[in-house]
Amino acid sequence: MEQTLKEKLKYWQFVLYVPIYLPFFFLVEKTTHDVTYINIPLDECIPFVEGFIIPYLLWFPFMAVAIAYVFFKDKKEFFAMCWHLIIGMSLFIVVSFVFPNGLQLRPTEFPRDNFCTDLVKYLYSIDTSTNVIPSIHVFNSLACGISFGRVLWRRGHKKTAIASYTMAALICISTMFVKQHSVVDVAAGLLLSGCCFFLLRRLYKNEADDKSNNV
């Protein structure tokens, strides 16, 4: 009975984490001061391209689809992905409190006036350019994209798996073209997410090996 309850709670770990994470996210946004700007000259070489707002906003449905699919198709991969997300989001909160940071990249004038530009303006109005490192957009895109792609690939859906990897890459790139993130925080998000991926997969592989040895 105890083991059954423990197994059930494992399925809810990410859902239970979200209401814990959100208050800290809003708190750090409201209490940020003495910001250190982390953008570098290389960021000026990346043009503002409003069309990239589309993959940027697709981050939300992409994550939802990836999490749901992996949950139903591969429980071990799902648990690893959940802990991947939890570690990244927690790390983001800690860094934001300890090292308040921000960017000065947003254009003051837009080269074109169209629907995508309007979406970018709306994004700017609801999201600040502070507390950006590591980029959660990048960190979570990599976490979900790799897990989603791995499960699809193992199940024989190789073209869809490649599409998942491509979508994750586009989302990561889009953050720089809409001037929401810099090369610095995108690189930090990629590096930290990659490290978490390999550490967690090693942990879950060892756990599976221990279970097989105990049978």
pLDDT tens figures, 35-51: 899 999 999 999 999 99
Domain ranges within the chain, ordered by starting residue: 47-210
φ/ψ of 140, rounded to 5, equals -75, -30
- Write out pLDDT tens, residues 51-92: 999 999 999 999 999 999 999 999 888 988 988 999 999 999
Structure tokens given for 62: 């992409």
Residue 147's identity, in one-letter code, is S
Q: Which residues contact 115 (CB under 8 A, 6 or more apart)?
A: none
φ/ψ of 156, rounded to 5, equals 90, 5
Does the predicted TM-score (pTM) go above 0.75? yes
Q: Which residues contact 82 (CB under 8 A, 6 or more apart)?
A: 13, 14, 17
Q: How far apart are CA 54 and CA 170, in angstroms?
A: 10
Cβ atoms of 162 and 83 closer than 8 Å: no
Q: What is the DSSP letter of 179?
A: T
Q: How far apart are CA 180 and CA 131, in angstroms?
A: 11
Can you list the residues of the chain whose pLDDT is less than 50?
1-3, 208-215
